[in-house]
Chains A and B, each alone.
Chain A
Amino acid sequence: MTVQVVDETLFHSLDPVLLRGSACASCGAHVFPAMGSCPMCTGTDVADVALPAEGRVWSWTTQHFEPKPPFRTDSFAPFSIGYVDLGPVIVEGWLVGRTQWTIGEPVRLVLAHAWTEGDASIHTFAFESAGAAR
């Protein structure tokens, strides 16, 4: 089975896996995914950057019901999503490995299987536990 990602433009690189954001030369704001302008200061002098791969859970929830389409899954089971504080920006993504989390606990970026399409496994970015909470 070949591995593909849900949207290549989300990634700076796949090995190692790093998210691609953009940083504003005027105000320093980072956003994800990368954009051509800065919503914080309205500037347009922005450049793509690789975002940090480790951070801390800023908030979390577990999705207990199956979302409507366009949600894709092989078979639904409750899954966690969260906002992860990466330092320059807080990014929303899956939290994988369990369904109960603690705000402030360290996590790291990984790729996770999202759904199967033909003989391809479609992966998305996710965060897994990187040790005990501070």
Chain B
Amino acid sequence: MSARDDDVYIVGAARTAFGRYDGEDNELAEQAVRAALDDAGIIWSDVQFAVGGTNGETKPDNLVSRLGLTGLPFVTVKNGCATGGVALMTARNGLIADAADIACVVGYDNHARGAFNASPTRYGIGDWFGQTGMMVTTSYFALKIQRYLHDHGIDPRTLGYASEKAFAYASHHPYAWRRTPVSVDEAMDADMINDPLTRFMFCSPDAGAVSLVLARGRRAFDMCDRPVRLASVALRGRRPGSFEVFSTWLSPGERTSPSIDAARAAFAAAGITPADVQVAQLQDTESGAEIIHLAETGLVEHGAQTAAYENGDFSITGRLPVNTDGGLLANGEPVGASGLRQVHEVVRQLQGRADGQQVPGAPSIGFTHVYGAPGISACTVLMAEGE
């Protein structure tokens, strides 16, 4: 296949280990960028367009003070849990719009311990919502999966299956944070955080950075033996009927989801169907989110999740390996880095050089999905191709 000018490829990928980090945020980001540049075999002055994402207080565009004052345009994005997907889309669009050849994307964060402490006023809600203890992300996830399990007659034990799978994958992955296997029983019997979700069913905020190098058209094949084509990237916001974090009310009508819309758009733009996917990454902020997103993205039918876990469909030798690096559950969530971690993992799988367990059979089609507040989702389709 010959590369077209507006095809964009990932030609370099690197991540730091995720977990606790004592240094500066920008130092962490710099490590990832330099490793991604090395992976692509280029130096910073080769980069023509850059995008950085973080949910913290630092300014990604100030990374140039560490990397080099080359004068390049550097866009900053801040879209919560979807930051990585938005950063990637912005870089892709930047390459095409500017007819530039090489872009660098970096996402990072270094969060304090514990659940995120959201401010009601930042979300346009009165103080009463926080004062009465409803401004809590964990309760949102619990309320959403509680209803979802009810609507689709799903056994709550499926939550334990998702946790067990995540930590099993992570036990093989050198950069994951929580690498101790957890059994289904341990997950189900652990301390309850918000019914029906226990301690082993939530990810925690932590630190980490991921960087990708993108190249446009022919140039990608000069730089990389196995470039991975960014076949599509789609970003969607919420429509009426979606169930989002910090909602004081919901409409009683049909439920919608930005994940459904973004996944459909990504598959359509790539010219494939969910059944074509051979390795996937889904936003698993908690175990319930993976169960919901398996169906919202179209990878599995609503209600069919339990049997699919029991059948091993999502394990490394299964029909559709999902979150092969342990996902958010085992990597934690440095918000700005998390979406790019997903892409990094799928790229490495498609290149046959996974850091952890390698999906057998040389998979060539991958999918990633991020979802976050205040109701946005970004999905990508990634394809390994020869020339």
Contacts and interface: CB of A to CB of B under 8 A. Distances in A.
A73 B195 CA distance: 21
Contacts of A73: 133
A50 interface: no
A31 B247 CA distance: 10
B113 to A, nearest CB: 11
B143 A67 contact: no
Contact of A39 (B130, B132, B240): B240
Contact of A32 (B139, B142, B191, B248): B248
Contact of A7 (B127, B147, B194): B127
A33 B193 CA distance: 28
Given A21-B249, A40-B251, A65 B193 contact: yes
Contacts of B194: 61-64
A36 interface: no
Interface in B138-161: 138-139, 142-144, 146-147, 150
A92 B147 CA distance: 13
B247 A92 contact: yes
B128 A124 contact: yes
A111 interface: no
A93 B120 CA distance: 15
A71 B252 contact: no
A71 to B, nearest CB: 5
Contacts of B251: 29, 40, 89-90
Nearest to B249: A32
B43 interface: no
Contacts of A39: 240
A62 B146 CA distance: 11
Interface string B185-206: 0000001111111000000000
Contact of A10 (B115, B128, B143): B128
Contacts, number: 114
Contacts of B128: 6-7, 10, 124
B67 interface: no
B135 A92 contact: no
Interface string B105-121: 00000000011010010
Contacts of A7: 126-128
Given A85-B252, A91-B248, A92-B248, A72 B195 contact: no
A26 interface: no
B65 interface: no
Contacts of A83: 143, 147, 250
B249 A103 contact: no
A90 B126 contact: no
Interface centre among B133, B150, B195 (most CB of A within 10 A): B133
A20 to B, nearest CB: 12
A79 B133 contact: yes
Contacts of B2: none
Interface centre among A10, A61, A71, A90 (most CB of B within 10 A): A61
A31 B249 contact: yes
Given A31-B249, A70-B127, A85-B252, A63 B133 contact: yes
Contacts of A93: 134
Nearest to A9: B126
Given A39-B240, A62-B192, A63-B139, A33 B115 contact: no
A88 interface: yes
A91 B227 CA distance: 49
B133 A87 contact: no
B122 to A, nearest CB: 12
Contacts of A31: 249
Given A29-B251, A89-B252, A90-B252, A59 B133 contact: no
A127 interface: no
Given A33-B126, A59-B147, A68-B117, A81 B240 contact: no
Given A6-B128, A7-B128, A90-B249, A103 B150 contact: yes
A24 to B, nearest CB: 11
Given A58-B147, A61-B195, A65-B193, A81 B252 contact: no
Given A70-B127, A92-B143, A94-B132, 15 more contacts: A10-B128, A40-B251, A58-B250, A60-B195, A62-B192, A63-B133, A64-B193, A64-B195, A69-B117, A70-B131, A72-B131, A83-B250, A89-B251, A89-B252, A90-B250
Interface of B: 114-115, 117, 120, 126-128, 130-136, 138-139, 142-144, 146-147, 150, 191-197, 240, 247-252
13 contacts: A7-B127, A10-B128, A30-B249, A61-B146, A61-B196, A62-B192, A71-B130, A81-B134, A83-B147, A90-B250, A93-B134, A94-B132, A115-B131
